[in-house]
Structure 1
């Protein structure tokens, strides 16, 4: 009987969706899985982990916090590490797979600290163009690192890497077979914009995007169909703004049918997290990317820069992301569909098909 595989992933979609994609693949190959996660994640009753054993471990982020809060975070992480160590002793897994962020630290370090007759394989998945703080810490204990970009900064020289790409949900991967069709330069066919802001809907997009949209020329506004993720408290006021400007808009705290909306979008505006970028390139959708400014290693800036250099999108730093700047950019892009078509073609060249299968292959290469 195969020993279980532990997957460590936090509660946010950026880390959890790729973990679920890998879990689905491994389950089809007959592997038993155990999920180790953090306090943000309640028991999974749907999805790939619904029938798997699940453990919530102590832990907290420490980067950028005040000294007292940093100390509390470190103590919480230590508690999680020893908790994971105890569980690993009981489970005796064949491998521990971490998807970054502080929830990966306890299982990966717990696995490296516990030495029995066969130490588990420790594999890190890095979804960004620069190794994140948590992954950087645990990378020295890793058996291997799976990466999503050909060149990833801060990888230790003595740890082998494999380019697998970022696993995405099957509904997103299906978009790779769907061609990008730009809206016409003139006419009355709809121009579809998707604005997503991470797992909670970034406030900056709720403030800047509507103000930018309502100052566009009327001939553009009347063609727009907007789907925008935002926190509930911003929806009423922004819906009124869009309505007054004659703009069709669906404003939602969470987008359930993201694959359907992404597949129809002519342009996407959002952050540049590893999971979001993977979904953009899988669907070959051009994007305006506003990297999260507080990321410890500017991972999102590195991701956005990689896409911009490839011609697949445009990066605007948050300090420069004003309604005036966005209006100017949108007026150019939405009246010259050939620019969007070229960006879509460039984006398609960056996609990594079958990333979950490739990551599963990497894991099994150490097990068999």
Structure 2
């Protein structure tokens, strides 16, 4: 039983694991929250079970109490379903939709494994870490764990979807003096700042630099006309869309990626092997995206710019330098790929099966 929900960042690695397990003849079911159930219909599992969940991060005591009540309801519902399905192991992928299934499994005496995608453990996984039998990690070093919890850790990497593995087969083509394609995306919590910063940064480049660029950018519907208008006025070739269904293919086609630094994004950049300018999402209590970006920057595959420093002038300066030094882009791409773990889904599948067998 896989437990995931909330965002694609949690569902994508669960989806990759499900493909790996099913390829070995394992039966897989998904347990998620009622919100994620609406868009998880194509998840590769033989059944899907939705239980209540909530995030206890509201400011008012009433909001927190309501969230905790929903988590308690979800845990009881999850335990009842687990008693009916009788899974050999329950695997959680972080976020509060994971709490009721994993907690319910623990209370029912079923083996549990949680997978932490980020370089700093998230709050939901931190809450579950003491109860989990095994902690699988996406990064070799994960902050926020006690020594006892670290002893339960196994580094497997972050599973990526089959489309990412397929895109990884495309070699990086050094742009040289030719065209440079830049992919820009921010996800649900970052597209607005990309719309505010990237077009003005391109505007600050000189004409010779701009003529070499092709921009492929995610922009929200309300920002589309503004972003498109700036590029048209500058004479810069651009493709603007609110969402890219073929994001791995777009990433493989890019010479440079400008994005947030969620765990799935960093994993996909490393498996495909593309240089990036990463802007961590600010405001997180765990600062997980900042740690993720620091990892890839330390590996030589990315430039990390914290959001207060992410201005049109700073971005234009970085772009101008990279346009002038295309060999540096090639080096960054190679460094990123060296840090990738393309078989993370199989590694995690091995660990899941070993955890399930331990209970037998």
Inter-partner Cα distance in structure 1 for 2:191 and 2:110? 38
Seen in structure 2, the aligned counterparts of structure 1 residues 67 and 57 have a Cα distance that, compared at 3 Å, is same
Q: What's the offset of the Cα at 1:135?
A: 0.5
Structure 1 residue 90 corresponds to structure 2 residue 84? yes
Inter-partner Cα distance in structure 1 for 2:133 and 2:148? 10
Structure 1 residue 253 corresponds to structure 2 residue 242? yes
Task: Kindly indicate which of the two structures has a greater share of residues assigned to helix.
Answer: 2
Gaps of 5+ in 2: none
Match of 1:174 among 141, 166, 170: 166
Q: What's the offset of the Cα at 1:211?
A: 1.1
The superposition leaves residues 133-187 of structure 1 with CA deviations (integer Å, 9 ceiling, x where unpaired) of: 1100001011101111111112232242111110101121123333212211x3x
Q: Find runs of 4+ consecutive structure 1 residues off by over 6 angstroms.
A: none
Q: How many residues align?
A: 354
Q: State which drifts further: 330-339 or 200-209.
A: 200-209
In the alignment, what sits opposite 1:326? Answer: 315
Q: What's the offset of the Cα at 1:200?
A: 5.5
Structure 1 residue 212 corresponds to structure 2 residue 169? no
Inter-partner Cα distance in structure 1 for 2:42 and 2:155? 29
Inter-partner Cα distance in structure 1 for 2:230 and 2:304? 26
- TM score, norm. by length of structure 1: 0.92
Alignment of 1:163-242 (within 5 A): 163-184=155-176, 186=177, 189-199=178-188, 201-242=190-231
Match of 1:162 among 154, 160, 181: 154
Alignment of 1:53-202 (within 5 A): 53-63=47-57, 65-114=59-108, 119-159=109-149, 160-184=152-176, 186=177, 189-199=178-188, 201-202=190-191
Gaps of 5+ in 1: 1-5
Alignment of 1:247-286 (within 5 A): 247-286=236-275
Inter-partner Cα distance in structure 2 for 1:301 and 1:201? 14
- TM score, norm. by length of structure 2: 0.94
Contact 1:200 1:231 in 2 (8 A): no
Q: What's the offset of the Cα at 1:90?
A: 1.5
What value does the CA root-mean-square deviation take over the aligned residues?
Answer: 1.5
Inter-partner Cα distance in structure 2 for 1:43 and 1:209? 30
Inter-partner Cα distance in structure 1 for 2:18 and 2:157? 15
| SS of residue in 2 equivalent to 1:158 | helix
Q: What's the offset of the Cα at 1:131?
A: 0.9
Inter-partner Cα distance in structure 1 for 2:41 and 2:260? 28
Seen in structure 2, the aligned counterparts of structure 1 residues 226 and 13 have a Cα distance that, compared at 3 Å, is same
